[in-house]
Chains A and B, each alone.
Chain A
């Protein structure tokens, strides 16, 4: 495998191998010196056309822990402001000599185009509403460390329509045998769910006491150009994981959120910080998963064929 553009690039076997490899890096990250020389001399560029804290830092940390050199490209301070096209920008970066480029872009499919323009490995760090494969990988890794995924009931709640996290997670969870229910008002679901291996519910209260995992999505106000729900308060009343609603969860249910959280909107602060929450663990595992992805792509298909 040379690129990671979406979960479609993986099958059950390569997905499982990638998760197993991630476990090795979880162990590396717990050492006193959380760094290995595996990818000495490799250069990883990060190119983010959208704001990001955790994904960008996570990728850069992962690359550094593998002893890569990291080239950080900040769109805000670049020639993009002078009108340089994506293609010119990418080819300029590639001409400086890179082995991989980590791309986030508001347009779905942008990373796929980049593959045709340069020789380096391309890793999708989120493209529009389309895909965010490393987020799904870190989510299933985190879950797998707590539960058997086969038969696990997972509710993905919130702004599915604008969520690349939801799309990638549905694929990864389904591949590993979990049963996914999307929970959202009809206006926050995609126009068509044809081909999605999911059930749908319009009421969080209908499923809250039956699921093993609640995966909350961030309300993506920046992608919403119209009024998709009456008020934030009304949304929270029906779809937010409030403290009162969280009491109806199974005793051992787990709560996840990809971040950044709108505390008090999709999740109550007390729930996000509570014992059922895996939020900080997700972030920690994100570094290990991205190390596994970089190692697989740049270490000559070490794990993923």
Chain B
């Protein structure tokens, strides 16, 4: 079942980009750090949008959180790409970007990974979909859509530059893979 189409996604991204700039009174100190794989694609889109309406190039970094996860040993955790943050994050505002926020464990791992790269002035969190079922006290600062879900369901975000086709967000039954967010 499709819950967001390409138009919805575009509008949500544009709004989030504006909210990030508004909250931080400009984009000067902001660094967007995307989580592999779709969070990184979203971070690039947000940077493009900010460049367009604010005339500022915001640095974009990529973060792989595999080695910081708390479920290593419980299941197979394979890194998806190199962690590359092009600027020193110390003293800046880091906006973590991911596609789906679920248990919050990925974000917790991301915060651990970030603090080893420097000491940001603040860490904020932007997600396209917040599907609930948090297991940790983590709350997003910027949300594209709040989507009530059941645990057995699977939220799948498809982005043109990652998955081909057109952008969309789907909700499906996937009893075999309740932990989909973790590998997204």
Residues of A bordering B, CB below 8 Å = 21, 23-24, 27-28, 31-33, 35-39, 66, 295, 298-303
Contact = CB atoms under 8 A, between A and B. Distances in A.
A21 B72 CA distance: 15
B78 A27 contact: no
B82 A27 contact: yes
Nearest to A303: B78
A303 B77 CA distance: 8
B160 interface: no
A301 B76 contact: yes
Given A31-B117, A299-B73, A37 B79 contact: no
Given A21-B79, A27-B82, A300 B74 contact: yes
Contacts of B77: 299-300, 302
B183 to A, nearest CB: 12
B67 A38 contact: yes
Contacts of B116: 31-33, 35-36
A30 to B, nearest CB: 10
B76 to A, nearest CB: 5
Contact of A302 (B64, B76, B82, B112): B76
Contacts of B73: 298-300
Interface string B60-80: 000010111100111111110
A39 B73 CA distance: 8
B37 interface: no
Residue from the set A38, A66, A298 with the largest chain B CB neighbour count within 10 Å? A38
Nearest to B73: A300
A299 B78 CA distance: 9
Interface of B: 64, 66-69, 72-79, 82-83, 112, 116-117
A302 B64 CA distance: 15
B152 to A, nearest CB: 24
A301 B116 CA distance: 26
A299 B83 contact: no
A90 B78 CA distance: 31
Contacts of B74: 300
B82 A38 contact: no
A60 to B, nearest CB: 18
20 contacts: A21-B79, A23-B82, A24-B67, A24-B79, A24-B82, A27-B82, A27-B83, A35-B116, A37-B112, A66-B67, A295-B67, A298-B73, A299-B72, A299-B73, A299-B76, A300-B75, A300-B76, A301-B76, A302-B76, A302-B77
Contacts of B69: 38
Residue from the set A21, A28, A33, A302 with the largest chain B CB neighbour count within 10 Å? A302
A14 to B, nearest CB: 12
A36 B64 contact: no
Given A24-B82, A27-B82, A31-B116, A37 B68 contact: yes
A25 to B, nearest CB: 9
Contact of B64 (A24, A35, A37, A299): A24
